[in-house]
Structure 1
Amino acid sequence: MASPIEEYGFISDLHTGALVSREGSIDWLCLPRFDSESIFAALVGDESNGRWLLAPSRNVGHSFEPVVVRRSYRPSTFILETLWKTEEGEVLVTEFMPVGGHGSLLIRRVHGLQGQVVMRQELELRFGYGKILPWVCRIHDDDGEALLAVAGPQAVLLRAAHLPRAAGYSHVGEFPVAAGQTVDLQLHAFPSHNVPPPAIDVDQALQTTSAYWTNWSRNFIPQGSYDREVERSLLVLRALTHARTGGIVAAPTTSLPEEFGGERNWDYRYCWLRDAALTLEAMMTHGFRQEALYWRNWLLRAIAGDPHDLQIMYGIAGERELPERVLNHLAGYRGSAPVRVGNGAVNQYQGDVVGEVMVALAKLRDQGVHEDHFSWPLQRNMLLYVENNASRKDHGIWEMRGEKRDFTHSRVMMWAALDRGVRAVEQHGLDGPVERWAELRDHLRSEILERGFNKEINSFTQTYGRTDVDASLLVLPQVGFLAYDDDRILGTVSRLERDLLDGNGLLLRYRTETCLDGLAPGEHPFLACSFWLVEQYSRTGRVSEAKSLMDKLIGLGNDLGLLSEEYDAIEHRMAGNYPQAFSHLALIRAADALNGAVRHLKRTMA
């Protein structure tokens, strides 16, 4: 059975990523990209769907079972270290995916610290999301003996001093590691028509990978409290970015349930314009302008073409076809079916998306980045898309699978898109039909204030004509539609606190039992929404409440500083896809706002 979500570590080579459980089992890995088919899928099935266990052997009759003493990343990296202690001794397991020039490769290094520990490995390779059993054989080449697995176009090669032996449809084996001894295991993936790749120098790869991550992190400037969490969140955002294309995936996993046993299981291994744009903002705020430019280039390639064909998400290289299908051979994470690949929301109309993108690109402009012959014309095309869809109902930020509605948040983000277009002309000297944009912008503002705000309950509402509220309304002041301390925003916050705060002080996105989202009711608090509330509290002088909520949210991360999409506060477990970019970028915004509020408070008291 798969481990609790919070028990997994994450390692990445900026092309794909693996999830490693505290028990030493790699239960999820797609190769060669985040959105490729998996070779290990035990996370959403069972061991027979693929996994690679490496841990101290558990001997029957021993009074002391192997335990993990500590687990951590090397500072400012995605090199995972796990210290195991057994009755016979201690070993340190170091796991990472080399960055730069090695292809798809996963390294597991076991170093003996005390005594002698017998390590056990169990290798089940299953291609095609756990469905395809490869042909496995031993080969000999200049680097010695290796285990080769082939199925169609894919091949995987295990190089190790102690290769596991066939046992049914698995390969198992044990090997001793004495104090001072180091044993390396290298898992290479490559096209089956190619010659198997040679062994690499693990010491050199470890040094190069460590240097990459630490050098990248040097751009991070400490801000005050929560620096460790902010730095790790920035690293997560970088780890979810494809090195060659610049595409940023929302998460490296699919179908981790938002409601255990429910149907809210989605594939997040794609690039949402919204998530990527917000990631861009977080990167820029903390000095990573080059990454922001790289993403802008990805965006321009992805959306190039007819503005009528704009999508809310794309593949990692800008692919447009992401059809959703169910993998019936997989039982789902701890029985939570269905397991989906692809995402049907790709065909939805979500009116807010252009707004997020235009807000992010405006911030890039304000930092002195000049538009070129390609970037501004495409932004004009996006604004034409807004104009052409100005009266169209949509599915909203949460990708409702019910009927389309006039979502207040979506209408505000359309206003924000036009507002940034007007500013680009007026403040940066760019060309465009500014009068037309300004007229539509002002019309939208009037409409939103008239139809999106309910005077009887003194709150903005999720959609026009209803009284339900939605946590996305906290974004209104973030994009400058109204001030954080505007009475209408404060009234909305009061309504959100009344209607959407759960018994544990976490904020729901909306009430699934009353909102017609096209799915059965039930989900856990979406962590980004509570981080938005921290930001709102910080901007309006509620600093102690902001800090209390922030500390609670930080405590919901695991020992590695990773966050999932949602949190089940009743059972004290993570829920949803993991690690989740949206949660981490919202953490960064909340920390920035809270640190700013604390500094302001200190100045006023001085």
Structure 2
Amino acid sequence: MSGKHNGALDLGLIGNCRVAALVNRQGRLVWWCYPNFDGDPAFSRLLAGEEEKGFCDVLLDGMVSSHAEYQPNTAIIRTTLTDAAGNAVRITDFAPRFPQYGRYFRPAQLCRLVEPIQGLPRVTLRMRPTHHYGKPCEAVAGSSHIRYLGGDQALRLTTDAPLSYVMQETPFALKHPVSLVMGVDEPLDESPEQVVRSFLERTRAGWYEWVRSLAIPFEWQDVVIRAAITLKLCSFEETGAIIAAVTTSVPEAPGTQRNWDYRYCWLRDAYFVVLALNRLGATKTMERYVDFITTVAVEGAELRPLYGVVPAMDLTERIEPDLAGFLGHAPVRVGNQAVEQVQHDVFGSVVLAVLQSFVDQRLPHPGDEGMLRLLESLAERAARCAFVPDAGIWEYRGRQRVHTHSAMLCWAACDRVARIAARLGHGDSAARWRKEAARLREGILREAWSERRQSFTGSFGVDDLDASVLLMHELGLIEADDPRFVATVDCIGRELNVNGHLLRYAAPDDFGVPETAFLVVKFWYLDALAAIGRRDQARALYAELLAARNSFGLLSEDLHPHTGEMWGNIPQTYSMAGLINTAMRLSMSWEEGLCRGL
């Protein structure tokens, strides 16, 4: 077990809105759940401790250097390996995704192209998938493919590389390119080389077209584009679900057992993703998410904090013993106990996520009377539950309180439903919800304020600070120039600061005192600084956050304030959405940028 991981989360993400995989800087595929985001990890090396299992890689004899990067504006990663004699090989990794027959083709497949680009490199192709969370698969060779058995679904590798060399992990001279297609147990219609090259060109063209449609800020364009692609890759297009991260059980901090499964759709997290992509004009993710919401938010049914990408999936938490954990930090959890919790912010999270559908005239299917009725049923529950104890945004397992953030989101549900009702011409309904919103706002501003702290706090009647109250102005609950909000920003920026990074809260929880900084709350802090007129300070701190990204431009959930290393699941959609939302606020306008010169 190690508390220092030396770049173990320096990983890039490839995917196609059905499956997602993580690639390290040596071109090793270390994580891939199959056949969906929340499926059994065929590549589980990320969580295998010191065991060499659950991966696919290319070993170059005598390798002395490696370089990996995204092809700009795509989800395609190219890795170059070089040996001491100058021989070099290039690995291109991607998941196919492109328009076909009037819809998107996105199979449960990964593609890999391995090409000699200098000299005569000598390589070993290794593929060691696992099943049932860490058990090695049995490999059975066919005529032009290898089937890996043991899981609920067989995994197929189709390749033009010598199968015996792959099966026996035998080094060979790479004289010409070889192609690998991994995934669904179906034969290919053409040769592996034809399939991979065709899929590569069409996938590249598809990403270019998607990125071209984004309304990006003038500054930090590459940052925002990479974050947007990453968020897109975390949307499960088939159902519209948006997952919080593609991994499970990368701990928030070493040795803490704060290991959680984030491969599911949290209604709260999904709102932030929808907000970020909407600001870039990428509204289709919201439209699909609205479909997901109408599936899970049935009138009268209990609304859970999270759902599987297929909503009926059982998310009961369990521990898998065959994986030793990230750097040996067990346990590896599957499912999430938060599914059993009461979290009252779910009502506002849903309303806020679908709000734009009622006002955006570009949409072919805008919000309507039926959706308003559904949202009113959520507002009813929000009004009843706003001041009832719950587990809160941070999902405390051992206590319940009236959490300020939960109450704020309940207020937002009533406030936005009032606005929607007024827009659709329902004056009486609008008046009713405005009255409810006013009642909740008055109670929040009274009960969440601490005279001793001179700050709004995380729960009613308790002086513990909580960075989630920084969202008060963002939600519209309070004006930015209100002295209480300004004092809160100052207090949190001072009291939750550890070596320049922000904790979510500093009070002990179910697992002790938090050790790592939660990245998204630093973005909330920067947004609050900009709102109260400290834009230059916010821009300087934003630059510091950009420096915390890994070499692929990704952020995880947490950052250790003393080592600077990332911890927690990766890529964390909360964090990636923060990159976008804050950039949109702090960037100079296109007009200003072009006038100042390039």
TM-score normalised by structure 2 residue count: 0.92
1:437 corresponds in structure 2 to 433
1:273 aligns with 2:270: no
Partners of 1:81 and 1:95 within 8 A in 2:
yes
1:312 and 1:469 map into 2 onto residues whose CA distance is: 23
Partners of 2:78 and 2:92 within 8 A in 1:
yes
2:159 corresponds in structure 1 to 160
Q: How does 1:85-234 map to 2 (within 5 A)?
A: 85-88=82-85, 89-99=87-97, 100-101=104-105, 103-131=107-135, 133-140=136-143, 145-151=144-150, 153-163=152-162, 165=164, 171-178=168-175, 181-190=176-185, 199-200=191-192, 201-234=195-228
1:7 and 1:582 map into 2 onto residues whose CA distance is: 18
Partners of 1:539 and 1:597 within 8 A in 2:
no
Partner amino acid, structure 2, of 1:184: S
Partners of 2:264 and 2:309 within 8 A in 1:
yes
1:413 and 1:434 map into 2 onto residues whose CA distance is: 18
2:153 and 2:313 map into 1 onto residues whose CA distance is: 24
- In terms of mean alpha carbon deviation, does 330-339 or 532-541 score higher? 532-541
Q: How many residues were matched structurally? A: 579
CA distance 1:556–1:96, change in 2 (3 Å): same
Look up the SS of the partner of 2:230 in the other structure: helix
Look up the SS of the partner of 2:174 in the other structure: strand
- CA drift at 1:391: 3.4
1:358 corresponds in structure 2 to 351
Partner amino acid, structure 1, of 2:138: W
1:240 aligns with 2:234: yes
CA distance 1:366–1:102, change in 2 (3 Å): closer
Cα deviations by residue, 1:136-179 (Å, 9 ceiling, x for unpaired) = 22111xxxx32222225311222223346599xx851223224x
2:519 corresponds in structure 1 to 527
CA distance 1:152–1:230, change in 2 (3 Å): closer
Partners of 1:147 and 1:163 within 8 A in 2:
no
1:71 aligns with 2:68: yes
Choose from 40, 55, 67 the match for 2:59. 55
Q: How does 1:294-373 map to 2 (within 5 A)?
A: 294-307=288-301, 309-319=302-312, 321-368=314-361, 370-373=366-369
Partner amino acid, structure 2, of 1:388: R
- CA drift at 1:29: 0.9
1:102 and 1:34 map into 2 onto residues whose CA distance is: 13
2:456 and 2:400 map into 1 onto residues whose CA distance is: 19
Cα deviations by residue, 1:551-590 (Å, 9 ceiling, x for unpaired) = 0100111121111111123223110000111101111111
CA distance 1:195–1:222, change in 2 (3 Å): closer
Look up the SS of the partner of 1:7 in the other structure: coil
2:582 and 2:152 map into 1 onto residues whose CA distance is: 45
1:251 aligns with 2:223: no
CA distance 1:416–1:101, change in 2 (3 Å): closer
- CA drift at 1:198: 6.4
2:101 corresponds in structure 1 to none
Partners of 2:267 and 2:346 within 8 A in 1:
yes
Deviating 4+ runs (over 6 angstroms): 194-198, 597-603
Q: How does 1:396-545 map to 2 (within 5 A)?
A: 396-430=392-426, 433-503=429-499, 505-511=500-506, 514-515=507-508, 517-545=509-537
1:62 corresponds in structure 2 to none
Look up the SS of the partner of 1:154 in the other structure: coil
- CA drift at 1:3: 7.2
2:406 and 2:512 map into 1 onto residues whose CA distance is: 23
2:78 corresponds in structure 1 to 81
2:575 corresponds in structure 1 to 583
2:272 and 2:527 map into 1 onto residues whose CA distance is: 15
CA distance 1:262–1:197, change in 2 (3 Å): farther
2:594 and 2:156 map into 1 onto residues whose CA distance is: 58
Partners of 1:284 and 1:364 within 8 A in 2:
no
CA distance 1:5–1:305, change in 2 (3 Å): farther
Partners of 1:474 and 1:532 within 8 A in 2:
yes
- CA drift at 1:394: 0.9
1:61 corresponds in structure 2 to none
CA distance 1:600–1:542, change in 2 (3 Å): farther
- In terms of mean alpha carbon deviation, does 96-105 or 551-560 score higher? 96-105
- In terms of mean alpha carbon deviation, does 92-101 or 363-372 score higher? 363-372
CA distance 1:580–1:381, change in 2 (3 Å): same
CA distance 1:600–1:255, change in 2 (3 Å): same
1:159 and 1:195 map into 2 onto residues whose CA distance is: 8
Cα deviations by residue, 1:472-498 (Å, 9 ceiling, x for unpaired) = 011000010011222111100111022
2:119 and 2:485 map into 1 onto residues whose CA distance is: 63
CA distance 1:598–1:85, change in 2 (3 Å): same
- CA drift at 1:329: 2.3
1:477 and 1:518 map into 2 onto residues whose CA distance is: 29
Partners of 1:282 and 1:589 within 8 A in 2:
yes
CA distance 1:442–1:599, change in 2 (3 Å): farther
Identity among equivalent pairs (%): 31
- CA drift at 1:602: 12
CA distance 1:102–1:394, change in 2 (3 Å): closer
Look up the SS of the partner of 1:336 in the other structure: coil
Choose from 556, 559, 565 the match for 1:567. 559
1:264 and 1:153 map into 2 onto residues whose CA distance is: 29
Partner amino acid, structure 1, of 2:92: T
Partner amino acid, structure 1, of 2:263: R
CA distance 1:102–1:462, change in 2 (3 Å): closer
2:515 and 2:591 map into 1 onto residues whose CA distance is: 36
Partners of 1:29 and 1:39 within 8 A in 2:
yes
- CA drift at 1:103: 2.6
2:594 and 2:141 map into 1 onto residues whose CA distance is: 67
1:571 and 1:55 map into 2 onto residues whose CA distance is: 31
- In terms of mean alpha carbon deviation, does 564-573 or 209-218 score higher? 564-573
Choose from 33, 36, 41 the match for 2:36. 33
1:464 and 1:597 map into 2 onto residues whose CA distance is: 40
Partners of 1:471 and 1:510 within 8 A in 2:
yes
- CA drift at 1:528: 0.5
Partners of 1:162 and 1:175 within 8 A in 2:
no
Cα deviations by residue, 1:211-244 (Å, 9 ceiling, x for unpaired) = 1111111111232211111111111110111121
CA distance 1:344–1:198, change in 2 (3 Å): farther
- In terms of mean alpha carbon deviation, does 103-112 or 12-21 score higher? 103-112
Partner amino acid, structure 2, of 1:235: I
Partners of 1:146 and 1:163 within 8 A in 2:
no
Partner amino acid, structure 2, of 1:335: G
Partner amino acid, structure 2, of 1:138: A
1:542 and 1:164 map into 2 onto residues whose CA distance is: 61
- CA drift at 1:601: 12
